[in-house]
Amino acid sequence: MVGVVIIGAQWGDEGKGKITDYYASKADLVVRFQGGNNAGHTVVVDDKIFKFHLLPSGSIQGKEIIIGNGVVIDPSVLLKELAELEKHKIKPQLKISKAAHVILPFHRLWDEVEERLKEKEAAGTTKRGIGPVYTDKIGRYGVRVGDLLHKEILEKKLELMLKIKNDIFELFGERPFNKDVLLKEYLEYGQQLKKYITDTVLYLNQALDANKWVLFEGAQGALLGIDLGVYPYGTSSNTNAGGACTGTGVAPTKISKIIGIVKAYLSRVGKGPVVTELTDEIGSKIREKGHEYGTTTGRPRRVGWLDLFAVKYASIINNFNGIVLTKLDVLGGLKKIKICTGYELNGRELPIMPVEPYILEKVQPKYIKMEGWPDYPDEEWTEVAKKGYQAIPETMVKYIQKIETYLNVPVIIASIGPERKQTIEIKNLF
């Protein structure tokens, strides 16, 4: 069996969509295991740009795709994505876990109200209702996808939820929700999605036992996880390799490889400390050249130098077998490039990245400087990719080697552009 997990090793937006799409050509199934439509990933194929928030990146290759139980689903968003694929004559072979939880309109509203009440302490969420739906999941009264197929069960759950939530909304001057309106709307969603809903735990394990190639696609990044990320400035799900198991029902022993996706510099959306953040002209240039604006929100991303100390932490908690380095082309043209290799606090070097924001706000980054590489037009980067690893600039090779040595993990792919054809496979893990 081949079970491969792809994890963002930073703050999300590392280029997981492109790399999942690249590896999807080898896979039999592509699985999404956590998060919701707060995450966005972009895939470029033959000058066509596909932006997904819920569907796995393997969708456009006609692969079997699965949305696991760890994902939270906004049915309206999912149906829009399916309709978009239909426009391009793509009919995805989709299966949805009956145990995945469902985002309802009051989750989105409470997300907005809660962020407003938190004021300066707000985490800067996407206001898509992700946190509130996970809260209901943990509270054991959420609506699951399978419930959309059973009127009595859905009605009973909505009655309970609205009994609690409408009173709270009225306290904050918001209009209460109507149970009958919600019931009708979500039963209709259930009928539209019925053909996709199944027991994905059984299906996935049978596929792995039959030696199928299964690709598990993570959303967001390791440093945003609810348990092991920089709390509370993150997301509401487990974004690390362990989440692939709890979010699908696949045992850890069935995972054979874990791949970390690392952007050649750093970016993040939302609040919280970013130790290597660039607020100067270099930062602005990287943002514009790298098109660093959120796929989901459109918000400008904060950018900074590559923080290898943070990536090392991500590697420790995920045990990466290989690293994929993305957006190397974006740094083209810079004379000097910095890499953070450690943090100091009160003159003392820290042994591991702290995840407490009040500590991260006080640390000082330790940098090494490296020589930059030339800036090429897009078509020239494509030619470099065609020729392979031996054609990339020598200073870029040194940059890659420095990362490998520091992390003690091989760099298996160098990505030098957004398209599939701008991908250089350095080492084959499989």
So which residues are the catalytic ones?
A: 13, 41
Q: Which amino acid is residue 208, in one-letter code?
A: L
CA 316 to centroid of chain Cα atoms? 19
Place of tokens 């070097």: 349
Residue 130's CB is within 10 A of a number of other CB atoms, namely 24
Length of the chain: 430
DSSP codes, 43-90: EEETTEEEEESSS-GGGGGT-EEEE-TTBEE-HHHHHHHHHHHHHTT-
The whole-angstrom separation of Cα 404 and Cα 262 is 12
DSSP codes, 344-373: EETTEE-SS----HHHHTT-EEEEEEEE--
Select from 63, 404, 400, 322 the least CA-distant residue to 215: 63
The whole-angstrom separation of Cα 226 and Cα 56 is 21
The whole-angstrom separation of Cα 226 and Cα 236 is 5
Contact (CB, 8 A) for 183 and 203: no
The whole-angstrom separation of Cα 155 and Cα 146 is 13
Return the structure tokens found at 397.
């090779």
Instruction: Tell me the longest C-alpha to C-alpha distance in the chain.
Output: 66
Contact (CB, 8 A) for 23 and 412: no
The whole-angstrom separation of Cα 82 and Cα 279 is 39
Residue 83's CB is within 10 A of a number of other CB atoms, namely 9
